[in-house]
């Protein structure tokens, strides 16, 4: 099955690993991720204001391009996913934005959020299926205690993201189990690491990230996994604690036996 | 801007109706950055409702809110306080010369691992 793929700017630069391991894993699972021919950075945070149009256009262009290809749009970075999905929701529900965008882009037919945006984890759960994924695992991560770190952007706002139960998610835990590892239960898996504060006030980022990592470590985590380059940076650079943090695609590629060739 | 106009403007661009708030305080109770904020999410709601917006436009809390959507998710009345905070932030930075982040400040904040995401997000949140 072929999907349109939106890698995002960070995956082309500092987070190349997130992308590289995803592509290798997808290939091993028989999934074709075809990068959109022409995409722009989504801007990293969803513009919440009702009268913001220009800041939503790069997302709309990506969504529209997937619509033209008649495919679902796969995202990898939590932030891209949040921005694209929330903008898509606006396009499906806010007539004012739909009209303004259509006028601005001179669209013959307005874009109304027809594209389905799916995060790669959702593709693994709903497209591939975790039982099927398990069958492809050649190097089970036996006995490794992995703390799933959701952060905020995959889950919230729950009504729009519809990723999983925002207060009691299970997708990353089930992903970890499918790879043969052991998910660590800890309360702060869906509390913010303070990543956005890193440029404004590093002390805040340090405090929040340390609280999250402490909580994971106290519950026996040997490793944390994330889908967000900013979480990874913040937990690695700003948190005190030293628990290794990896992209979920890296452990996936490892379990599928394609890490070395990625 | 005149007081009532400013309030109307904030309500319009945020799409928030502060009168839905039942003052339970859950948004502030769940805010991960509570200790670092002068005004907390429930105060943004009540002060905007009263038209008391000037102090909000001057507070550091505009820049320390993490945009984590916890207050949006956990408000039992779907008030969405973070959207009000964003609207006040925009009311400030949309003014000429009021950008919070200046390009010349960026180099000092960079390190070799900092993801692009952090930089583009900061620009989107702090500049117009
Ligand atoms: S969220 Fe991230 S990586 Fe994704 S395009 Fe947007 S800014 Fe760039
Ligand atoms: S970087 Fe921190 S703030 Fe952003 S999603 Fe990750 S958890 Fe939330
Ligand atoms: S979005 Fe801002 S105000 Fe709301 S809970 Fe997060 S940090 Fe607090
Ligand atoms: S959680 Fe909602 S209802 Fe409760 S104080 Fe905050 S805004 Fe008001």
State which residue of chain B sits closest to A209, comparing Cα positions: B32
pLDDT surpassing 90 at residue B123 = no
pLDDT in tens, B33-46: 999 999 999 999 99
ipTM over 0.85: yes
Which of B117, B122, B123 is the best residue to mutate to test the A interface, defined by the most A CB atoms within 10 Å of its own CB?
B117
Tell me if B106 CB under 6 Å of ligand 3: no
Residue A172: per-residue pLDDT: 98
Q: What is the mean pLDDT of chain B?
A: 93
Measured CA to CA, the distance from residue A70 to residue A116 in angstroms comes to: 10
Consecutive 10-residue runs of chain A (262 residues): their mean pLDDT?
95 93 97 95 95 96 97 97 98 97 96 98 98 98 98 98 98 98 98 92 96 98 97 96 97 97 83
> Which of the two residues, B2 and B107, has the higher pLDDT score?
B107
Residue nearest atom 7 in ligand 1 by C-alpha distance: A44
Minimal Cβ distance to B83: which of A48, A167, A236:
A48
Mean pLDDT of B103-118: 86
Tell me the domains of chain A and their CATH numbers: 2-120 (1.20.1050.140), 132-255 (3.40.50.1860)
Tell me if B18 CB under 6 Å of ligand 3: no
Question: Confidence band (pLDDT; 50, 70, 90) for B124?
Answer: confident
Phi-psi region of A43 (alpha: psi -120 to 50; beta: other; left: phi over 0): left
- The 3-state secondary structure of chain A, one letter per residue: CEEEEECCCHHHCCCHHHHHHHHHHHHHCCCEEEECCCCCCCCCCCCCCCCCCHHHHHHHHHHHHHHHHCCCEEECCHHHHHHHHHHHHHHHHCHHHHHHHHHHHCCCCCCCCCCCEEEHHHHHHHHHCHHHHHHHCCCCCCCCEEEECCCCCCCCCHHHHCCCCCCCCCHHHHHHHHCCCEECCCHHHHCCCCHHHCCCCHHHHHHHHHHHHHHHHHCCCCEEEECCHHHHHHHHHHCCCCCCEEEHHHHHHHHCCCCCCC
C-alpha distances in Å from residue A232, one per residue of A18, A150, A164, A227, B78:
10, 11, 21, 8, 30
Interchain proximity A204–B36, CB inside 8 Å: yes
Question: Confidence band (pLDDT; 50, 70, 90) for B120?
Answer: confident
Interchain proximity A200–B111, CB inside 8 Å: no
Q: How far is B87 from chain A (nearest CA, A)?
A: 6
Residue A240: per-residue pLDDT: 93
Question: Confidence band (pLDDT; 50, 70, 90) for B109?
Answer: confident
Kindly report the pTM of this predicted structure: 0.95
Percent over 70 (pLDDT), chain B: 98
Residue B104: per-residue pLDDT: 85
Chain B residues near any Cβ of chain A (below 8 Å): 12-15, 32-33, 36, 63-64, 66-70, 72-73, 82-83, 86-87, 90, 101, 109, 111, 113-122, 124-126
pLDDT in tens, B63-98: 999 999 999 999 999 999 999 999 999 999 999 888
Tell me the domains of chain B and their CATH numbers: 3-100 (1.10.1060.10)
Q: How far is B95 from chain A (nearest CA, A)?
A: 15
Q: How far is B53 from chain A (nearest CA, A)?
A: 17
Question: Confidence band (pLDDT; 50, 70, 90) for B1?
Answer: low
Minimal Cβ distance to B121: which of A45, A48, A194:
A45
Beta pairing partners, A147: A224
């Amino acid at each position: 099955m072929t999907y349109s793929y939106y890698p995002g700017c960070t995956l082309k630069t500092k987070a190349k690993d997130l992308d590289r391991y995803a592509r290798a894993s997808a290939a091993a699972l028989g999934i074709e991720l075809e990068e959109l021919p022409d995409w722009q950075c989504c801007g990293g945070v969803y513009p919440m204001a009702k009268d913001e149009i220009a800041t939503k256009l790069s997302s709309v262009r990506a969504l529209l391009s997937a619509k033209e290809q008649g495919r679902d749009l796969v995202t990898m970075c939590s932030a891209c996913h949040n921005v694209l999905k929330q903008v898509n929701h606006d396009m499906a529900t806010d007539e004012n934005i739909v009209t303004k965008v259509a006028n601005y882009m001179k669209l013959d037919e307005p874009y109304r959020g027809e594209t389905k945006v799916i995060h790669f984890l959702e593709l693994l759960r709903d497209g591939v299926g975790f039982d099927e994924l398990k069958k492809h695992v050649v190097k089970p991560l036996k006995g490794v205690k992995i703390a799933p770190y959701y952060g905020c952007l995959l889950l919230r706002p729950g009504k729009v993201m519809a990723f999983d139960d925002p207060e009691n998610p299970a997708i990353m835990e089930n992903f970890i189990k499918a790879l043969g590892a052991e998910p660590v239960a800890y309360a702060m898996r869906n509390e913010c690491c303070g990543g956005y504060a890193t440029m404004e006030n590093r002390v805040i980022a340090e405090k929040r990230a340390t609280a999250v990592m402490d909580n994971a470590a106290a519950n026996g985590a040997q490793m944390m996994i994330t889908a967000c380059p900013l979480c990874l940076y913040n937990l690695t650079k700003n948190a005190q604690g030293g628990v290794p943090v990896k992209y979920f695609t890296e452990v996936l590629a490892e379990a599928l036996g394609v890490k070395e060739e990625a | 801007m005149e007081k009532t106009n400013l309030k109307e403007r904030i309500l319009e661009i945020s799409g928030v109706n502060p009168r839905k708030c039942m003052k339970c305080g859950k948004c502030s109770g769940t805010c991960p950055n509570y200790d670092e904020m002068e005004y907390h999410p429930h105060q943004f709601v009540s002060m905007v409702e009263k038209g008391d917006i000037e102090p909000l436009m001057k507070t550091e809390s505009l820049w320390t809110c993490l945009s984590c959507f916890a207050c949006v998710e956990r408000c039992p009345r779907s008030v969405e306080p973070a959207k009000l905070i964003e609207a006040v932030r925009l009311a400030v930075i949309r003014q000429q010369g009021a950008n919070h982040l200046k390009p010349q400040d960026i180099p000092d904040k960079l390190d070799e691992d900092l993801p692009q995401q952090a930089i583009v997000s900061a620009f989107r949140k702090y500049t117009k």
